[in-house]
Amino acid sequence: MPSFKDLGLCNNITEALKDLGYTKPTEIQELAIPQILGSDKDLKAFAQTGTGKTAAFSLPILEKIDLNSSATQAIILSPTRELAIQIAKNIKEFAKNIKGLNVVAVYGGANITNQIKDLKRGAHIVVGTPGRTVDLINRRSLKLGEIKWVILDEADEMLNMGFKEDIDQILDVTPDKKQTLLFSATFPREVEAIARNYMFKPAEISAGEKNQGADTVEHQFYLVSERNRYPTLKRIVDVNTGIYGIIFCRTRRETQEIADKLIQDGYGADSLHGELSQAQRDIVMKKFRTKKIQILVATDVAARGIDVTDLTHVINHKLPDQLESYTHRSGRTGRAGAEGISIVIVTNKDKNRIKQIERKINKKFVQKEVPSGKEIVGIKLMQYAEKIKAIKVNEEDLSDNFEEIAKDLKKLTKDELIKRFIYNELEHLLSYYQKTQDIGADTGRERVTDENMQRFFINTGKMDGLNPARMIGLVNDYLGKKVDIGQIEILKSFSFFEIPKEHTEDLLKGFEDAEFNGRSVNVEKTTQPKTRSRNRDRGRGRERNRGEKRRSGGGDRNRSSNSNRDRGNRSDRNRGGRDSGFKRRTEKSTRRRRRRSEE
């Protein structure tokens, strides 16, 4: 493996790298540095986050830049201000032994006047977000007429974020003769189009398969029902006692909600998203960097450019819409050769995306069981015991009161004392896991009892054309209002559903005269415990027999008449009928519903 010196870098630079702890080049550096040093050709580089690409493109530029000229010679475009700041900071560190080199970062959300002043003082290298760069070009504060290098960093992300026009505008004001370096983790059509339009016969390099991030990251997933997403997240955090990680969410709202819940539940967490001001972001990032908080809840965009190298975990609260973003997310951990874990919480609905990601990253996910309350409590107790053992006591601090306290506590045995200490520290956790049921994998059949929900049996099932959407419609219809519907289990000839307990009476009344596909519907409260659906089908002999009878006693005819009715209902819907597809309701229930909706 070559050294940085072997790649053609001068002592000034290699010494600075040594100080930064860069002992040997990463794969992308080994490929890109000699290529850029030795050739004026444009370059298309496939490189993921965390592979060391900042040094890969900036070191050869530092090597070749002309310090006798004060003109801006390199413009580096990056998708976010965090990343732009980070790149500028890295370059300054690489160039600490290069006297007179100026690097300026320009980005939105910060005072433009100061940035104009910085540019006036002379900037050999400018790192900018596309929007602010265009703004400064239009104000004639940033002149790109003598540009020798254009670097498009995380090009796919810039295009995802809608910077295409800005990039076009910037590239248009640069000279024809220049070297364009495009770094991207993925090459969708739009990135290829940029490469086609603005690059001439580019050289191509790829450090995709062997990047540090992917190699040292273990990918895990938890399959749970939708409403167990947050409780599962909590358990993952609880069980990983030394966690220092980012929880990724898809939207700002989701980010804020999850962070608020975690804070409320006593975790050291905070949120990072686009609605925060730059000052607020800086405060959050400072808390995270200094480990005052262990968990950062962030959107993909906000987390870009966060250069925290020792993250233990990345948790995908929900998977990103674009699978490419998963690579970016998981690349936040396992950096610079360290071990990392990337966790995904999925439901039955999105579990097939795990397979797609596996194909994309060429690695297998490990399915994990949600830790039981007992396990978590055990871990926390041991952790607390370790903490107590490690406490260093300064005798002097206690000298005044110790005897008195010791005398008072002597009435308790050693075991009683230990139990009370534990309780004092962990009461909240102990009682939480005492009350809460364990979370099983969401097989679509098993359920987790929620103490606030009431479970109901209904004598209709798949054979009657019932499906979850229709079940929701049916419940809302007969209840006359929209309520949270919990677990739904549709079996062959009967089904189960849950709604919040407070609506129990209304629901039973609402269903008094109900019919479904011409058959009277019977709804009963049930407390039936968690079982597999097949067993339950067997257990409910009455309903099963009814189903069997229907099928054997001219079942085909009945079934076809059922499906005719179904079709009839569907066309009702098309004519503006209610979308649950359920026939009729008695005058009584209609009156009741009207009354309710007017209340």
Q: Interface mask (CB under 6 A) for ligand AMP, residues 285-324, using x and -?
A: ----------------------x-x---------------
Among 16, 55, 142, 217, binds ligand AMP (CB under 6 A): 55
CB of 48 to ligand AMP, least distance (A): 8
Among 7, 46, 52, 222, binds ligand AMP (CB under 6 A): 52
| SS3 sequence of 453-476 | EEEEEECCCHHHCCCHHHHHHHHH
Classified as helix, coil or strand, 515 is strand
Task: Answer for the pair 314, 246: CB distance below 8 angstroms, yes or no.
Answer: yes
- 25 part of the interface to ligand AMP, by CB under 6 A: yes
Task: Answer for the pair 171, 182: CB distance below 8 angstroms, yes or no.
Answer: no
- 26 part of the interface to ligand AMP, by CB under 6 A: yes
Nearer of residues 212 and 240 to ligand AMP, judged by Cβ? 212
| SS3 sequence of 195-230 | HHHHCCCCEEEECCCCCHHHHHEEEEEEECCHHHHH
CB of 90 to ligand AMP, least distance (A): 7
Q: Interface mask (CB under 6 A) for ligand AMP, residues 479-518, using x and -?
A: ----------------------------------------
Nearer of residues 82 and 270 to ligand AMP, judged by Cβ? 82
CB of 52 to ligand AMP, least distance (A): 3
Nearer of residues 124 and 335 to ligand AMP, judged by Cβ? 335
CB of 56 to ligand AMP, least distance (A): 7
Using alpha carbons, select from 169, 175, 132, 125 the residue that is nearest to residue 151: 125
Q: How far apart are CA 235 and CA 107, in angstroms?
A: 38
Task: Answer for the pair 477, 580: CB distance below 8 angstroms, yes or no.
Answer: yes
- 329 part of the interface to ligand AMP, by CB under 6 A: no
Structural tokens at position 11: 């002592």
CB of 86 to ligand AMP, least distance (A): 7
Nearer of residues 22 and 457 to ligand AMP, judged by Cβ? 22
CB of 29 to ligand AMP, least distance (A): 6
| Cβ-closest position to ligand AMP | 52
How big is the site for ligand AMP, counted in residues (CB under 6 A)?
A: 15
Q: How far apart are CA 571 and CA 566, in angstroms?
A: 9
Task: Answer for the pair 442, 228: CB distance below 8 angstroms, yes or no.
Answer: yes
**Orientation of helix 323-330 relative to helix 352-361, angle to 10°:** 60
| Residue 278 CB neighbour total at 10 angstroms | 14
Instruction: Label the pairing between strands 488-490 and 495-500.
Output: antiparallel
CB of 254 to ligand AMP, least distance (A): 26
- 335 part of the interface to ligand AMP, by CB under 6 A: yes
- 53 part of the interface to ligand AMP, by CB under 6 A: yes
Among 9, 14, 16, 22, binds ligand AMP (CB under 6 A): 22
Task: Answer for the pair 132, 107: CB distance below 8 angstroms, yes or no.
Answer: yes
Task: Answer for the pair 507, 501: CB distance below 8 angstroms, yes or no.
Answer: no
Q: How far apart are CA 362 and CA 355, in angstroms?
A: 10
Q: Interface mask (CB under 6 A) for ligand AMP, residues 29-48, using x and -?
A: x-------------------
Task: Answer for the pair 438, 239: CB distance below 8 angstroms, yes or no.
Answer: no
Nearer of residues 14 and 299 to ligand AMP, judged by Cβ? 14
Contact residues for ligand AMP, defined by CB under 6 A: 22, 25-26, 29, 49-55, 307, 309, 335-336
